[in-house]
A and B are shown apart, each in its own frame.
Chain A
Amino acid sequence: MKELEKQLRELLEKSEWTVEERRRVLNYLENSEGNELQNIMQEHFLENTGQENEINPEISERLRGAILGKN
């Protein structure tokens, strides 16, 4: 289980996946519950909570305006 999580973390760090890696990820997503990936992404979510700079502030404000503009 730990090995799988380690492999997933390594894959997520890569900017490009090979054909074989893409197949492995797809196989994992289609044939498992995906708990390991969900745990990793939950950690990542917490690390980024409250951060300001991920989206360009201009884009962020535009998105917020679009959302609230619906009402």
Chain B
Amino acid sequence: MHNNSKLAERIRNDDVNAFTELYRKYHAAVYANALKLTRNAQVAEDIVQEVFITLWEKRQEIDPKKDISGWLFVISYNKSINILKRKLRETCAHEKIKNISGTVEVPHGKNELLYYRLSNLVKAIEELSPQKRKVFELCKMRGKTYEEAARELHLSKYTVKEYLAGAMVFIKDYLKKHPVQQGVFLWIATASNLLFHFILISW
């Protein structure tokens, strides 16, 4: 605690080394808690990033008399719980719909492959952390520039670029890990890409 109050004091004075020290000491705890609650490594990494960005941005507001580990716990806990709640609400709502409508009807024939590709893509987007999803939606689905997205989300342009790069890597990785189990026909793939872009633009 004594050491933490010194670190807090140093961070208030823009000491990057103090920030690094705090990061090294607590990032694993923030990550472990976020992972335990959200059950998603990608989301947990994002929470670590968001928590420490907030710490650095709000360094002038830190009270060295209060233990900074408590602040880190509360911020990361609240972020994780909000994500967990959202995820549970979505899955519970999905279950309800399934119960009401019986089995989900999957289209047949040519549209089947397209259906699975789009379902995978939607699932990948749903798995993104809230911030990355917002950035992805703004830049890739609504065609906003980095600057516009940064203004709208009150983030720096650098952070928007980071989030978007992370989102793209995650989606590509997700689609690789969840391949469509059908034979792939080039023309269907092309058609689905075109339709996907159409859906994204009109979303």
Taking the nearest CB of chain A, how far is it from the CB of B203, in angstroms?
27
Q: B53 touching A67 by the CB < 8 A rule?
A: yes
Chain A residue numbers with a CB within 8 Å of B52 are 63-64, 67
Are A49 and B69 CB-contacts (below 8 A) given A25-B88, A67-B49?
yes
**Complex CA distance for A34 and B77, rounded to whole angstroms:** 11
A59 on the interface (CB 8 Å rule)?
yes
| Contacting residue for B29 out of A23, A51, A67, CB 8 A | A51
Residue A46 interfacial (CB < 8 Å): yes
Contact status B49-A54, CB under 8 Å? no
Tell me whether A49 and B88 are in contact (CB under 8 A).
no
Q: For this complex, into which size category does the number of interface residues on chain A fall?
A: 35 or more
Whether A68 and B19, one on each chain, are in contact in the complex, defined by CB atoms closer than 8 angstroms, is yes
Set of chain B residues within 8 Å of A48, measured between Cβ atoms = 28-29, 31-33
Contacts of A54 in B (CB 8 A): 27-29, 31-32, 35
User: Is B31 touching A26 in the complex (CB atoms < 8 A)?
Assistant: no
Asked whether A26 lies within 8 Å of B92 as measured between CB atoms, the reply is yes
Q: Determine how close the nearest CB of chain B comes to the CB of A42; give it in whole angstroms.
A: 6
Number of A-B residue pairs at CB separation under 8 A: 105
Contacts of A67 in B (CB 8 A): 23, 49, 52-53, 56
Closest Cβ of chain A to B62, distance in Å, is 16
A63 to B84: give the CA distance in the assembly, Å.
22
Closest to B88 in A: A26
Chain B CB within 8 A of A1 CB: no
Nearest chain-A residue to B74 (Cβ)?
Answer: A38
CA distance A30 to B19 in the complex (A): 35
Question: Which residues on A sit within 8 Å (CB–CB) of B23?
Answer: 64, 67
B147 interface contact, C-beta 8 A? no
**A70 x B88 contact (CB < 8 A):** no
Query: 1/0 per position for A48-71, CB-CB distance to B under 8 A?
Result: 111111110001100110111111
The CA-CA distance from A30 to B180 in the complex, in Å, is 36
| A34-B73 Cα distance, complex, nearest whole Å | 15
As a 0/1 sequence over residues 114 to 154 of chain B, the CB contacts with chain A under 8 angstroms (1 = contact) are: 00000000000000000000000000000000000000000
Q: Once the chains bind, are A50 and B158 in contact (CB under 8 Å)?
A: no
Interface pairs A-B: 5 shortest CB-CB: A54-B28, A48-B29, A51-B28, A48-B32, A26-B88
Question: What is B's interface to A at a CB cutoff of 8 Å?
Answer: 16, 19-20, 23-33, 35-37, 39, 45, 48-49, 52-53, 56, 69, 73, 77, 81, 84-85, 88-89, 91-92, 95, 156, 158-159, 162
